[in-house]
A and B are shown apart, each in its own frame.
Chain A
């Protein structure tokens, strides 16, 4: 059974960089697309982007200029970096697997709350 677990700071200061890592267990990171989704009361569920196991990425235009996703196959992990955050970036961040060639969110992490505040 594939399991995903997010890790990273729960509090980030405005204008700084949000960094999260997702560790995948129970399966290989190879041949799959790995995604980040966030959920805030004001904006609902928002897909941030994906990183393929070979490092290829696709981002939501709403955050494209500020986001970087990377993958570390040796650790079975993938990561999110979101630069220059504001209060609007406060949300629960989920990592998820995009199965069926990048179409279906079939496995999710439990989510981690990130608050942007000074």
Chain B
């Protein structure tokens, strides 16, 4: 199975900050990567697919980049509703696998 390693596992930030989360995969997956946001007590919510395509309805402050084994999720200006946990997920091969998550907390 392809392993996904996210860093950092948690970070503290303030409203308006630029935040970058990294996801590295154990083997190349082209651009077959998605990013999810999860708030406490809720299901994950799809933000980005194909490494950089924004899901409909997702604010443009979210962006993704990367290919192969190195990917990033960037929030250009953190908003109060963005404090959550973020997960990357690969769909290049089965079994589908997720990263361990990055918790974005209020500084």
A106 surroundings in chain B (CB, below 8 A): 46, 55
Q: In the assembly, what is the distance between CA of A45 and CA of B37, in Å?
A: 12
B contact residues, total (Cβ < 8 Å):
22
- Given A45-B44, A94-B43 in contact, is the A105-B89 Cβ separation under 8 Å? yes
B19-43 contact mask (Cβ, 8 Å, vs A): 1 or 0: 0000000000000101010000011
Q: Which residues of B contact A (CB under 8 A)?
A: 1, 32, 34, 36, 42-46, 49, 55, 87, 89, 91, 94-101
* Residue from B43, B49, B89, B95 in contact with A62 in the complex, judged by beta carbons closer than 8 Å: B95
Interface residues of B: mostly helix, strand, loop or mixed?
Answer: loop
- Docked-complex contact B95 and A105, CB < 8 angstroms: no
Chain A positions 69-118 with a Cβ under 8 Å from a chain B Cβ? 94, 96, 100, 103-106, 108-111
Q: Which among B42, B91, B97 is the interface contact of A110 at CB below 8 angstroms?
A: B42
CA–CA, A60 and B96, complex, Å: 8
- In the bound complex, CA of A19 to CA of B43 (Å): 20
The 9 A-B pairs at the shortest CB distance, nearest first, are namely A108-B43, A45-B98, A47-B96, A60-B95, A103-B91, A44-B100, A104-B49, A94-B43, A111-B43
Chain A contact residues, majority secondary structure = strand
